Structure 1
Amino acid sequence: MSTNSPSPATFGEPWPEYNDGLTYRDLVRSPDSGLTLIEYYSLRHQSSAPALGWLQRIENGQITVNGTVVTDPNTVLRIGTELVYHRRPWKEPYAPYLLEVLFEDDHLIALNKPSGLQVLPGGLFQQRTVLTQLQWRIKNQESLVPDRELCPVPVHRLGRGTSGILLCAKTKLAKTRLAALFADKTSAVSNNRKIDNEVNKVGKMSKIYRALASGIINEDEAVIDEPIGTVKYSGVAKGLYVASPSGKPALSKVHVLKRDVQNNLTVVQVEIQSGRPHQIRIHLSFIGHPLIGDPLYLTGGKPQCAVPETVDETFAEDGGYHRPANPVPGDCGYYLHAHQLVLCHPMTNEMIKITAPLPPVFLSHESGE
């Protein structure tokens, strides 16, 4: 079994002050023929902005119809009309940009993601992401080796506030095989197949995290198998993931490393046998020990505010909705670190072990300082 280099390299380019904006394309279908421009966007994209916000965008000349800027909101649309909404560049919130390389070969790259950096574009973070830094890095490499077909992309996600190992594919084939490996591990839980702890077999994978849980966990070991589903939640268009008996199967194995009575917290190691969104945050809160500093999940695996807010029909400067007052999944503040990954290399079948150094906050609590 090979391990990652003890002296990892770093890369990353500082973020520009403004991003490049975004372009959204639509093609008018038969059911929408006869709608006016303002009716179309108010109906089809109401989660992006209230009607007054869309009116502002139209009058600002941010929408083209068949390639021509149209500022009349009452323009009637016909089948086959091409619509393009141009979201203007904006200043994204602060995000770190430097990334450590923990392991790299021609097929894979494993990064040590800092807390506060989003993995893929979404919400206010469209440029300040791991994906952007990967694309910039590979673009520079392609100029040196133009015959290589590189396609850098993360094959799983970590929450914006979660630090640690993020595994990425560098080629399309590696991406396909890694995606299958992650899917197989999750499906094993979904199908209630027994998973042994021997990761030194082809196709096996072990993902181990460190976390700071609130309160003192009395048991040395705990297995949490509460299913995870979604509920409606303001500011999260596709629903918020929560502990739910009707959700999908999920399995987390918790091992207590240290009980810090003075600070009323427990340092835990968590091995996940599935990859549901926010699984560790939800599972630890489900057993009454939410992560220290978690702004969203409380005891029981539910959010602080499960009742949707009244929709705020006022709009921000860009025409979109204001940020919800309630916390959302991307908010940081909790302490969770993807510490170790053992997997069978999808191209060579070699077992590799990757470790991301613990952040100082974990070292200080584990040493008792």
Structure 2
Amino acid sequence: MTAPGSRPRPPRRIVLLAGPSGSGKGLMSQRSGLPVLGLDEFYRDHDDPGLPRRFGIVDWDDPASWNVGAALEALTAIAHDGAADVPEYSISASRRTGTTRLEAGDAPVIIAEGIFAAELIAPLAAAGLLADAIVLHRPTPVVFTLRLARDLREHRKPPLTLLRRGWGLARDQRGDVAAWIRAGMRPEGLRSGVRRLRSLAALTEAETTHRPCAQEPDVLRITAVSFLRHGPHGEEVLAVRKRGTGSYMQVGGKLEPGETALEAAVREVAEEIGVHLDPRDLEPLGEFEAVAANEPDTLVRSTVFSCRTELPEPLAVRAELADHRWIRVDEPGTGARLAPLMVEHILPALRAL
């Protein structure tokens, strides 16, 4: 069995910052001096057929107008790897216009700010990445004035639309703030919020520098299947992302009591992508151990198989999976965070084939 992968530095932790549109979340983040990921960059394009509507236009204040999976993927990459490719979104054009590279450097804490921040509380907490969740709470007239001045200055929408939207958001503000608090966010004013952010950064830095010796990690026994195909630029391997997580990995999962790794592999493939394999389709690739991608203080010990069975197109993921992509074996690129098991063991083993 391959020896466990070396333990990386503890991941950066994330502060979620919500508040009404125009309330000053960006100013609060700027004054903290911490790296910031603007969650508004993950809005869906205006021609997406599933967008909700309100006030005669797309309702950009509805979470359905926003890509939570892409935001979670980017935050996971920044927390673990210190950098991620994130979209550049034009509010006035209501579409993505490009991509930029966000790097966190040595900062121990990252701020993710936007009106949909509360949607990320549960998955980040489960992954051990959540430092705090804050809602910026300011008087409604102040927020209305700040928002309208900003939107007019940036020509976000026609003035009449901005006024109608502004009055509607002002009416909703008290209920929205109450909902954020119920979701688990701490209400803070602008000045107290800045102090809180700076305090969290100092505390996290101290914990990282003086952390005690790690306890013996839990070991999770799993199986995984590497589906291979010949792509336009060379050999490719299928990678999938589970719902509520930000890392890509192989199709597979935990062994059930009394189940062999081969039996579990066939079952997981049927459950996750709806493909029924003959066990003879699977070739052993190796037994590997690495840090778990989505579970804190856990190692995964995996029996990995390779498979060249042709998969249906378009491939429909199911069960607990959210999406999939094909990754080049020789050059995975930087577009997605891959699980340590893939990076440290599976991809090198596939290259050796």
TM-score bracket, normalised by the shorter chain, equals under 0.3
Q: RCO greater where, 1 or 2, for CA within 8 Å and sep 6 or more? A: 2
TM-score norm. by structure 2 comes to 0.22
Answer 1 or 2: which has greater helix percent. 2
